[in-house]
Structure 1
Amino acid sequence: MNTPASNSTIRLYHVALSPFCRKVRLVLAEKRIEVELVEDRYWEPDSERIRRNPAGKLPVLRMDGRLMAESQAICEYLDETHPEPALMPRNPAERYEVRRLCAWFDDKFNTEATRPVMNERVWKKVMRQGYPDSRTVKAGLGAIRHHMDYMRSLLEHRRWLAGDVMTLADFAAAAHLSCLDYISDVDWTHSAEVQDWYAKIKSRPAFRSLLADHLPGVHPAPHYALLDF
């Protein structure tokens, strides 16, 4: 049972293989903000996600005396209140590009790749909802390759996805790909550029807690926690 938190305790209510939770975890870790991770098994009847967030979504961050929801809003709040290291550029045009790419991964990539593959390969098993639909999985895997092609086109002209410095856009993309990599559904041979980019992200100290994740009943791929993959 969780003990009551003091007003100064920062808590993140999350689930391990959620890209949205992972994006917030990466930002918290990159900015060296100490946080208590509290797993919310939202599919179980005693979940309090609706009480914490009427939208019923994770993550929820308890910080500064309030409960905050929506991963993008949380991440930008953290970047504004803890400005070092900066994850959003100062230039408006550059900030636009970061937000555009965050939306790309959290909306388009999630709809076409993360959600269908994870739902079929992971959450159906965890929630005991039957067997995966092979056609849905196949379509999702194809979408991953198409998105990797788009990422490669960006990385051919940039050091990072949104420009020459690492930003929240990189964390958003890595959060989605890391969930899929956990179940070995990313073909890294498809793009050396994307693999090199992910290796840089994966080697950051902020990524360590993600590499230690383990969802009961769903074992990570053998290479998942390896920096040399």
Structure 2
Amino acid sequence: MPKKKSIQFDIVTIFPNVFSEYFNSTILARAQKKKLIKINILDLRKFAKKSDPHKSVDDRPYGGGPGMILMFEPIAKALKSIKRTKKARIIMTAPEGKKLTQKEAKRLSQYDQLIILCGRYEGFDSRVEELIDEKISIGKYVLAGGELPAMVITETVARHVPGVVGHDEALTEETFSKGDDYVEYPQYTRPETVKHGRKKLSVPKVLLSGDHAKIKDWRDKNKKK
């Protein structure tokens, strides 16, 4: 019997507590119980110099400038502490990285382990790039750190593991699942008619017809742009 596909996510962060509520109360919680995914959160401050009572993992940039930079050594120690599988990938969250798309998420789901470094402050010491395999961005906008991108990467990739999403058909029909230009058709549920001010908004009759060919045709013609 073939072994079930599973992925391990190791997330390195200075704010380990921000992940627990989300990861333990969504489909990711069910996926962890079913052992389809495993999520480990590593507190970067635990890899600071033992002699430093403040557990500092950042310092001022050489050459001057605003903000603080995440230091190389604590990150190198954190990565060294992680037991890696043969198919592991180290990802740095960075605004200049490769944009995360459904296609990219599916590619990343082929790995057995994703190690995600969460940026903070003014970013990483550039030498950290020697330790990683690639940079990933979730969009061209500014966030305080890489924790939200790490959550997005984790869920988006995990959804491609068989069994994480309840119905495989649901995954294939999702927005962008058939390519970055594919967007899902409109969806409706009960009741058939609702009131909105003076308007009555009704479900298209074809969806109530039970004629699967006509329904498919309607959905193909009404995909959101």
Greater share of residues in helix? 1
- Same fold? TM cut 0.5: no
**Structure with greater Cα Rg:** 2
TM-score by length of 1: 0.31
Greater share of residues in strand? 2
TM-score by length of 2: 0.32
